[in-house]
């Protein structure tokens, strides 16, 4: 995979748009799953994937070929998710009626989750409980837990993605697990 990525990066730097389309194909699903697991919202995850590829395209000349491409693109996506999580603070009540639309509240404006019966069947009750617990983690732990346990990245890869020392990653993994253990203690 690394040789393919290196070849594609060289072609992209020469202006080959088909090579960029191949990079998009290689990473679009992986990035979507990462963003969805961090944000728990399909539309926001799609936005993050799109923004990630825009940033990759605009900043391709800044990519260091000595670094793994996957690490670079995951770093961009993860940072965008963290930024979105930090900005995500409710500023209104969903129960409040919307100004000029009588009888319509905030719940009517929420996008549907678009789950299919097949995907619904795949989610066990235990997975839902764990996902809900991960959702309550502070952003600094959530990103690390998602990268470690849902994206199966090594501690070193997470360190590269987040540009933090491995010791900090280990500490946050430990604290994140403790947080989840306390949350899940009486639910599982």
* pLDDT in the model for residue 85: 86
Confidence (pTM) = 0.63
pLDDT per residue as tens digits for the range 93-120: 455 555 555 555 555 555 555 666 655 5
CA 154, distance to chain mean position in Å, is 16
The span from the CA of 149 to the CA of 63, in Å, is 27
Q: pLDDT averaged over the chain?
A: 82
Give backbone dihedrals phi and psi of 116, rounded to 5 degrees, phi first: -95, 160
């Amino acid at each position: 995979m690394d040789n393919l990525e290196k070849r594609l990066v060289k072609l992209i730097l020469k202006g080959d748009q088909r090579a960029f389309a191949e990079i998009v194909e290689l990473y679009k699903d992986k990035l979507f799953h990462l963003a969805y697991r961090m944000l728990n919202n399909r539309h926001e995850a799609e936005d993050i994937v799109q923004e990630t590829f825009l940033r990759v395209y605009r900043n391709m000349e800044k990519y260091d070929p000595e670094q793994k491409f996957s690490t670079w693109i995951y770093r961009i996506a993860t940072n965008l998710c963290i930024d979105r999580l930090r900005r995500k603070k409710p500023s209104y009540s969903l129960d409040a009626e919307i100004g000029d639309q009588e009888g319509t509240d905030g719940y009517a404006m929420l996008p549907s989750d678009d789950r299919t019966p097949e995907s619904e069947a795949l989610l066990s009750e235990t997975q839902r409980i764990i996902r809900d617990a991960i959702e309550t983690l502070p952003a600094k732990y959530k990103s690390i837990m998602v990268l470690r346990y849902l994206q199966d990245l090594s501690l070193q890869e997470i360190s590269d993605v987040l540009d933090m020392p491995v010791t900090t990653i280990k500490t946050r993994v430990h604290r994140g697990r403790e947080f989840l253990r306390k949350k899940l203690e009486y639910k599982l």
